[in-house]
Amino acid sequence: MRRHRPAPRGTLSTAPGGRLSRRSALCGLAGLAAVPLVGCDSRPQKTSARFAQFGTLVDISIWDLPQREAERAISILQRDYAVLNRDWYAWGDGELGQLNRSLRRAVEAPVSAPLGELLQHGLRLSAASRGLFDMRIGPLVELWGFASAASMAESTPAPGDDAIRAALDRARLHVDVLHDGTGWRVRAEAAGVLLDLGGIAKGDILARGMARLESEGVSRALIDAGGDVAVMDHLGTGPFRVGIRPAREGEAVRLLELQHGETVTTSGDYARYREIGGRRYAHIIDPRTGRPSEEARSATVVHQVGARADAAATALIVGGAPEFDAVCDAMRVETALLVDNQGQMRATPEMRVRLETI
Ligand code: AMP
Ligand code: MG
């Protein structure tokens, strides 16, 4: 979980449905740096709220409920999110932190259904990602100082080759997620495993948030968690558009239409990084080398399954241009965009059709 990502710059605004005119089309902002987009209409019944969670700002908009009911749904969601923020953080006292304490000693441990399901899904996505997305990356995330705000602020030198090799050995230990009549269990081949959900949790959290709003009677909503956005539109009032802006100065803002049920997530080298010896190291680690990934600046993926979008964006930024087509195929992602380390853009045909530059 990205608990320590700095809050996005600027505010987000959303547009109502209907045929979106250019003026009213700008919705949430997904992408490398959140900038305010102006020009959004708002209908009387729209209820919006913002709260801090997962190390970022979460913006929620609901269009079809009376304000009091919408506010109630949002406060329920906010409580859910506080629990997930605690439970899915690898280095905390919640469920994943406790599991990691067991796995470090190679002790098999039971987990709840939500965590077991996400871990199992994550292992499958990892296998499909050609090893580029890998939740076992925890020892390397820790070694490079990305585990907490405190470690990120420390001015420690870059780790040496021996330390990287040792952490890589731990990150390659086999992990099983098992399910039987008694519930979910996780076990590791040997001591030293440290699972990190940072590359997948946000997508799943968005999906869970939408399911919660649905169960509270909401039909049209948008959740924006620091630029990763999910939308729901059972009313069929029309698509949402989100703005995606590459991180670097001078690169164009792009608009992307999101349909009911879709999630867009972006991984960026700008999002969290450390400067060591005048060099900038991104928070995304290449599991092939054990070093911060340098292949690409950002990757954006749209998918109906939030966790898949999130894991795929992480895999794509690690693999960069050379792996772009293979990862999209293997992870069954049709709508993806990559800005490589030279600033060159690559997009799938489906993404090209959807993207609009402003
Ligand atoms: P994202 O922004 O979704 O790409 O997630 C980045 C976060 O996922 C990092 O802050 C780490 O906690 C974790 N992470 C880093 N490298 C990887 C990787 N190769 N595979 C899976 N998770 C990773
Ligand atoms: Mg991700």
Mutate to test the pocket of ligand 1, among 133, 284, 303 (most ligand atoms within 8 A of CB): 284
Mean pLDDT of 302-306: 98
pTM above 0.75, yes or no: yes
Phi, psi angle pair for 326, to nearest 5°:
-65, -40
Residue with tokens 């009387």: 44
**Residue among 105, 119, 115 at smallest CA distance from 188:** 105
Q: Which residues contact 166 (CB under 8 A, 6 or more apart)?
A: none
Neighbours of ion ligand 2 (CB under 5 A): 199, 267, 310, 313-314
Q: Ligand 1: which atom is nearest the Cα of residue 272?
A: 10
> Does residue 350 have a pLDDT over 60?
yes
Count other Cβ atoms within 10 Å, centred on residue 75.
12
> Does residue 82 have a pLDDT over 90?
yes
Rounded percentage of the chain residues whose pLDDT exceeds 70 = 85
Rounded percentage of the chain residues whose pLDDT exceeds 90 = 73
pLDDT value of residue 180: 92
pLDDT in tens, 106-117: 999 999 999 999
**Residue among 85, 10, 3 at smallest CA distance from 243:** 10
pLDDT value of residue 249: 64
Count other Cβ atoms within 10 Å, centred on residue 26.
25
Among all bound ligands, the one having the nearest atom to the CA of 306 is: 2
User: In the structure encoding, which two tokens stand for residue 10, read together?
Assistant: 């600027």
Q: How confident is the model at residue 122 (pLDDT cuts 50, 70, 90)?
A: very high
> Does residue 31 have a pLDDT over 50?
no
Which of 81-85, 184-188, 241-245, 250-254 bottoms out in mean pLDDT, i.e. has the lowest?
250-254
Phi, psi angle pair for 137, to nearest 5°:
-70, -10
3-state class (DSSP) for residue 128 = helix
pLDDT value of residue 39: 32
> With contact defined as beta carbons under 8 Å apart, do 333 and 346 qualify?
no
pLDDT in tens, 134-151: 999 999 999 999 998 888
pLDDT value of residue 247: 60
Count other Cβ atoms within 10 Å, centred on residue 127.
12
